[in-house]
Chain A
Amino acid sequence: MSNQPLLNIEHLRLSFFTPAGEVKALNDVSFQLEQGDVLGIVGESGSGKSVTAYSIMGLTAYPGRIVGGEIHFNGHEIHKMTEKEMRSIRGKEVSIIFQDPMTSLNPVYTIGNQICEVIRLHTNKTKEQAHARAVELLSLVGINEPERRLKQYPHELSGGMRQRVMIAIALACEPKLLIADEPTTALDVTIQAQILELMMELKKKIGMSIIMITHDLGVVSNMCDKIAVMYAGKIVEYGTADDIFYNPQHEYTRGLLTSIPKLNATEHERLVPIEGQPVDLLNPPAGCPFAPRCKSCMKICLREMPPYTHFSEDHYSACWLTQKKEFEARKGGDRT
């Protein structure tokens, strides 16, 4: 147990069974997350980053279903658990913060009601104890006058405040893992920084792991220990923040990096977008899903899925180019 990672996802496959056919949202996703680590999952819309995170909580909505692979979390075999069993760990061992704090709180109940609800559900605390804990949580997430706020309704709070409340709800039972699904996308920039800072601070205090889902590479760069780059339901590159930012190996990762605006860019320097459309997951291609948009696409890329090439213990990517380079390097090494 002690040397097991907190979260271990192995060869996870998940499909949405729609009337149009099977949409393969996740295609052989594997990664580990150690206790106390922060993993960033980046990728464009529809790349499967949210679905990956939701599958850990069993929140992938109908008609989504796990069709293969395993999820081990904190001693639980998530892929085998029933809805009822899942309920006992949701909000307790693993919590989530959603993208839009404006709509994620129920408008007809007070903040206090919504925080105490989760505390009383997962602990044996009395009403008074739960209330005290709620006050404590609100001060923890940096909300002034917690007693007064608890009596307020979501519409009386600003977006940043509401996201703080969502964080308070998520942290109510001191989860082992916090999933943050684009927690700052809906907030304005100054509030974004505050929320991210708060999350890092709380991580240190509580010692939980975080999975940060985002399409903002700036967010992950200074927060995450590891980064997984997803494309078409697959992790195409995985590595430390340094690996990804200074030594990207996959063409898609490179494309993402060149499409971020830089502050120190000269006036004439243009942003380079990634051309083309994301792949249709209803009919995924046989080869590398990124091949149709890749500048360095080779014949094999269209035919066969590339295996992972490992550059170091935690840096790997799935690309035929790196396979080729490695092969040539090995061949060259043999000759000498």
Chain B
Amino acid sequence: MGKFIIKRVLSAIVTIFLVATITFFLMFLVPGGPFLSEKAPSAETLAALEAKYGLDQPVPVQYVNYMERLIHGDLGTSLKKRGLEVNDIIATGFPVSAKVGGIAIAGAVLIGVPLGSVAALNRGKPLDNIIMVVATCGIAVPSFVMATVLMVTFGVQLGWLPTMGLSGPLSYIMPCIALAFYPTAYISRLMRSSMLDVLGQDYMRTARAKGLSQFVMLFKHALRNAILPVVTYLGPLLAYTLTGSFVIEKIFTIPGLGSEFIGSITSRDYPLIMGTTIFLAFLIIMMNVIVDIVYKLIDPRIKLK
């Protein structure tokens, strides 16, 4: 276990270094710059600004400077949000996105897993068909459609729920539902197929031959085996969802990290692009390590290497 963690930390450092490097050079390949907007500043102003942020230096030099700061944990200062440290932007945006995303994923698991299991147990019967039709819709309908429909119905027409910002518990409902819809549908489909597979396994027949009740068979013998694919899916899903969804955050005006992520790219806010990308990479790596460990805890056959 200890050896496994050391190995994964080392490989994580290499991965983050590579992600940072590739992002850095790709970023400068994209035409445009942070200070070019509709009203182009004068050449002198531009030169002064570029000199101030070190953008006048050759790209490799900038790269070395950036990496030096990165090693010290400094992600730099935003070029567009004057005076704001990228570290601070992430520190304020991430908790907001993570809260919405966390609730959404918790909901997706708590609803998707039982739903998929119920569908598998009722294979071919009407209940299974209904669940699968809904799940297919959930996969097919994009989150922005879902969000808009929710907003128009419950926010505008009925006026039950607030449509903007995160002002209270009620305001979490719509963004979380919109965000959770796809993963819920995906998890229930995943769960259904893995549950069907597990239910047909020989050890389930053994469990039945022992005289175990349906409840014990399902919750002790089947669920633990069937949930493995869901755990695998949860790793990257958590990383992407916790860092926020651009679409959902825009629609519901949530000050999360997701909008910063996309916004930084369109505005060529170089340090912010780097910062959010590296943060996401870090989160994905971490989630994958956690998934591997959880996997090992669920299935003793897995060897952590």
Contact surface of A with B, Cβ cutoff 8 Å:
57, 59, 86-92, 95-96, 98, 100, 103-109, 117-118, 121-122, 153, 155, 166, 169
Identify 17 residue pairs between A and B in the complex whose beta-carbon atoms are under 8 Å apart, listed by A's number: A57-B209, A59-B205, A87-B212, A87-B213, A91-B210, A103-B202, A106-B207, A106-B225, A107-B299, A117-B212, A118-B210, A121-B212, A153-B300, A155-B300, A155-B301, A166-B206, A169-B206
Q: Are the CB atoms of A89 and B210 closer together than 8 Å?
A: no
Given contacts A107-B299, A108-B300, contact A98 B212 (CB under 8 A): no
Docked pose: A324 CA to B69 CA in angstroms: 101
Question: Which 3 pairs of residues, A with B, have the shortest CB-CB distance?
Answer: A90-B211, A91-B210, A103-B202
Q: Are the CB atoms of B212 and A106 closer together than 8 Å?
A: no
Docked pose: A166 CA to B206 CA in angstroms: 9
Docked pose: A57 CA to B208 CA in angstroms: 10
Number of chain B interface residues as a range: 20 to 34
Docked pose: A107 CA to B213 CA in angstroms: 19
Q: Does B221 interact with chain A (Cβ within 8 Å)? A: yes
Given contacts A107-B301, A108-B299, contact A91 B202 (CB under 8 A): no
Q: Please, which residue of chain B has its CB at the minimum distance from the CB of A61?
A: B205
Q: Does B133 interact with chain A (Cβ within 8 Å)? A: no
Q: Are the CB atoms of A104 and B211 closer together than 8 Å?
A: no
The interface bits of chain B over 201-235 (1 if a CB of A lies within 8 angstroms of the residue's CB, else 0) are 11101111111110000001100110000000000
Least Cβ–Cβ distance between B26 and chain A, in angstroms: 43
Least Cβ–Cβ distance between A51 and chain B, in angstroms: 13
Residues of A within 8 A of B209 (CB): 57, 59, 90-91, 95-96, 98
Residues of B within 8 A of A91 (CB): 209-212
Q: Does B298 interact with chain A (Cβ within 8 Å)? A: yes
Residues of B within 8 A of A121 (CB): 210-212
Residues of B within 8 A of A95 (CB): 209
Docked pose: A118 CA to B211 CA in angstroms: 8
Docked pose: A89 CA to B212 CA in angstroms: 10
Q: Please, which residue of chain A has its CB at the minimum distance from the CB of B225?
A: A108
Q: Please, which residue of chain B has its CB at the minimum distance from the CB of A105?
A: B203
Docked pose: A109 CA to B209 CA in angstroms: 17
Point out the residue from B201, B207, B213, B300 that lies within 8 Å of A103, measured CB to CB: B201
Q: Are the CB atoms of B211 and A122 closer together than 8 Å?
A: yes
Docked pose: A104 CA to B204 CA in angstroms: 8
Residues of B within 8 A of A89 (CB): 211
Residues of A within 8 A of B210 (CB): 90-91, 117-118, 121, 169
Least Cβ–Cβ distance between B130 and chain A, in angstroms: 20
Least Cβ–Cβ distance between B45 and chain A, in angstroms: 65
The interface bits of chain B over 134-170 (1 if a CB of A lies within 8 angstroms of the residue's CB, else 0) are 0000000000000000000000000000000000000
Least Cβ–Cβ distance between A106 and chain B, in angstroms: 4
Docked pose: A104 CA to B207 CA in angstroms: 9
Residues of B within 8 A of A98 (CB): 202, 205-206, 209
Using A87-B213, A117-B210 as known contacts, list a sample of 9 further A-B pairs with CB atoms less than 8 Å apart, ordered by residue number in A: A59-B205, A86-B211, A98-B206, A103-B201, A104-B206, A105-B206, A109-B220, A109-B221, A121-B212
Q: Please, which residue of chain B has its CB at the minimum distance from the CB of A103?
A: B202
Point out the residue from A86, A106, A108 that lies within 8 Å of B206, measured CB to CB: A106
Least Cβ–Cβ distance between A57 and chain B, in angstroms: 6
Docked pose: A226 CA to B179 CA in angstroms: 66
Least Cβ–Cβ distance between A182 and chain B, in angstroms: 12
Least Cβ–Cβ distance between B211 and chain A, in angstroms: 4
Docked pose: A106 CA to B298 CA in angstroms: 12
Residues of A within 8 A of B208 (CB): 59, 90
Docked pose: A87 CA to B214 CA in angstroms: 10
Docked pose: A122 CA to B220 CA in angstroms: 17
Least Cβ–Cβ distance between A118 and chain B, in angstroms: 5
Point out the residue from A104, A107, A166 that lies within 8 Å of B225, measured CB to CB: A107
Residues of A within 8 A of B299 (CB): 107-108
Docked pose: A108 CA to B231 CA in angstroms: 15
Docked pose: A107 CA to B202 CA in angstroms: 11
Residues of A within 8 A of B203 (CB): 103-107
Docked pose: A155 CA to B299 CA in angstroms: 11
Docked pose: A86 CA to B208 CA in angstroms: 10
Least Cβ–Cβ distance between A324 and chain B, in angstroms: 44
Tell which of A96, A106, A109 has the most Cβ of chain B within 10 Å.
A106
Q: Could you tell me which residues of chain B, from 256 to 305, have a CB within 8 Å of some CB in chain A?
A: 298-301
Docked pose: A153 CA to B301 CA in angstroms: 8
Given contacts A106-B225, A108-B298, A155-B301, contact A100 B211 (CB under 8 A): no
Least Cβ–Cβ distance between B81 and chain A, in angstroms: 50
Docked pose: A107 CA to B224 CA in angstroms: 10
Residues of A within 8 A of B213 (CB): 87
Q: Are the CB atoms of A108 and B224 closer together than 8 Å?
A: yes
Docked pose: A117 CA to B213 CA in angstroms: 12
Docked pose: A1 CA to B299 CA in angstroms: 48
Residues of A within 8 A of B220 (CB): 109
Given contacts A108-B224, A169-B210, contact A100 B202 (CB under 8 A): yes
Docked pose: A153 CA to B299 CA in angstroms: 10
Q: Are the CB atoms of B221 and A106 closer together than 8 Å?
A: yes
Docked pose: A103 CA to B225 CA in angstroms: 13
Least Cβ–Cβ distance between B105 and chain A, in angstroms: 24
Point out the residue from A87, A105, A107, A166 that lies within 8 Å of B211, measured CB to CB: A87
Residues of B within 8 A of A166 (CB): 206
Least Cβ–Cβ distance between A111 and chain B, in angstroms: 11
Least Cβ–Cβ distance between A233 and chain B, in angstroms: 21
Residues of B within 8 A of A109 (CB): 220-221
Residues of B within 8 A of A153 (CB): 300-301
Least Cβ–Cβ distance between A217 and chain B, in angstroms: 25
Docked pose: A103 CA to B221 CA in angstroms: 13
Q: Please, which residue of chain A has its CB at the minimum distance from the CB of B297?
A: A108
